[in-house]
Amino acid sequence: MAEDQCIFCHIAQGNIPAKKVYEDDKVLAVLDINPAVQGHILLLPKEHVAVMPQMKDEIVAHTGMVAKQLSASLIRSMKVEGTSIFVANGAAAGQRAPHFMMHIMPRSKNDGVKLDLPEGKLDEKMMNMVFVKLAPAVGKQLGFEPKVSVQKEETPDKKKENVKPEKEKLPKKEPVPDDSNKADTLPSNQIPLPKKENTAKNAKGQDSLDDIADFLTRGPK
Ligand SMILES: [Zn+2]
């Protein structure tokens, strides 16, 4: 689609009014007029691209950085428990707009937003078939050469059910432990607090998303 026919290019150029929450020379963030949830933000590159693989690396990097900050702003301002950041590349993935966009949505439990992924099964043979198809393509794109030999000897104490990787799951809501020494012994399925500059504020070893929201509402530093 030509840029002059793209509604999102017109929004980016200011020809169509939109509720802008952020703008710089590369990207624009607006409130979705048909939000999946209150606070649903669309983050758009100003330069027209249809899907992410067409984007310049520099713009992808910048978009990711802005998405991170918008996500933090949503948690801080909307007092939500988390955010979902979502991209549909192509109609098969559910893309409806002709212009690339990143959806950044504030999330709360029981907010009715359906982004739950089905849990499929892939046996060792199929896993290898997928791997040998994908790995050379990744190597070509990124210059990375994964180990092609993926056949592993199964040791008696490493049966399939034991080596099955755990799917990423949101943690169950649990009371915040009062013990400040628990931070290093959290179960692996719990989302750790952001590290780096935020670590200093994490004096109490807080571990739930509620605490992250509270933590972020105190400000970035
Ligand atoms: Zn466009």
31 class by beta-carbon count within 10 Å (0-12 exposed, 13-18 middle, 19+ buried): middle
In the reported structure, the alpha carbon of residue 81 is separated from the centroid of ligand 1 by a whole-number distance in angstroms of 32
Q: Which residues contact 143 (CB under 8 A, 6 or more apart)?
A: none
117 found inside a domain: no
139 found inside a domain: yes
pLDDT in tens, 16-44: 999 999 999 999 999 999 999 999 999 99
pLDDT number for residue 139: 87
In the reported structure, the alpha carbon of residue 1 is separated from the centroid of ligand 1 by a whole-number distance in angstroms of 8
pLDDT number for residue 190: 45
217 found inside a domain: no
102 and 194 in a single domain? The answer is no
24 and 95 in a single domain? The answer is yes
Are residues 59 and 47 in contact, defined by beta-carbon separation less than 8 angstroms?
A: yes
In the reported structure, the alpha carbon of residue 73 is separated from the centroid of ligand 1 by a whole-number distance in angstroms of 26
Among the listed residues 220, 218, 216, 221, the one whose alpha carbon sits nearest the alpha carbon of residue 81: 216
- Of all residues in the chain, what percent carry a pLDDT higher than 90? 55
Q: Distance between CA 135 and CA 148 in Å, rounded?
A: 8
pLDDT in tens, 71-80: 999 999 999 9
pLDDT number for residue 156: 53
pLDDT number for residue 116: 86
In the reported structure, the alpha carbon of residue 61 is separated from the centroid of ligand 1 by a whole-number distance in angstroms of 19
Confidence band for 221, pLDDT divided at 50, 70 and 90: very low
Structural domain total, the chain: 3
Which string of DSSP letters, residue by residue, matches the chain? --GGG-HHHHHHTTSS---EEEE-SSEEEEE-SS-SSTT-EEEEESS--SSGGGS-HHHHHHHHHHHHHHHHHHHHHH--SEEEEE---SGGGT--SSS--EEEEEE-TT-----PPP-----HHHHHHHHHHHHHHHHHHH-----S----PPPTT--HHHHPPPPP-PPPP-PPPS-TTGGGG--TTSPPPP-GGGGGG-TT---SHHHHHHHHHT---
Residue 132 has pLDDT above 70, yes or no: yes
pLDDT number for residue 188: 44
Q: Distance between CA 43 and CA 23 in Å, rounded?
A: 9
20 and 72 in a single domain? The answer is yes
pLDDT number for residue 175: 53
In the reported structure, the alpha carbon of residue 55 is separated from the centroid of ligand 1 by a whole-number distance in angstroms of 12
195 and 131 in a single domain? The answer is no
pLDDT number for residue 171: 53
Q: What's the chain's average pLDDT?
A: 78
Distances (CA, A) of 101 to 26, 55, 123: 13, 11, 34
In the reported structure, the alpha carbon of residue 5 is separated from the centroid of ligand 1 by a whole-number distance in angstroms of 8
- The mean per-residue pLDDT over the stretch 152-177 comes to 51
Task: Write out the residue range of the structural domain in which residue 43 sits.
Answer: 3-107
Weakest mean pLDDT among 51-60, 81-90, 160-169: 160-169
Weakest mean pLDDT among 9-23, 50-64, 153-167, 188-202: 188-202
pLDDT number for residue 93: 92
In the reported structure, the alpha carbon of residue 23 is separated from the centroid of ligand 1 by a whole-number distance in angstroms of 16
Residue 204 has pLDDT above 50, yes or no: no
100 and 159 in a single domain? The answer is no
139 and 183 in a single domain? The answer is no
Question: Residue 132's Cα: distance from chain center in Å?
Answer: 26
Q: Distance between CA 54 and CA 45 in Å, rounded?
A: 11
Residue 6 has pLDDT above 90, yes or no: yes
- Of all residues in the chain, what percent carry a pLDDT higher than 70? 65
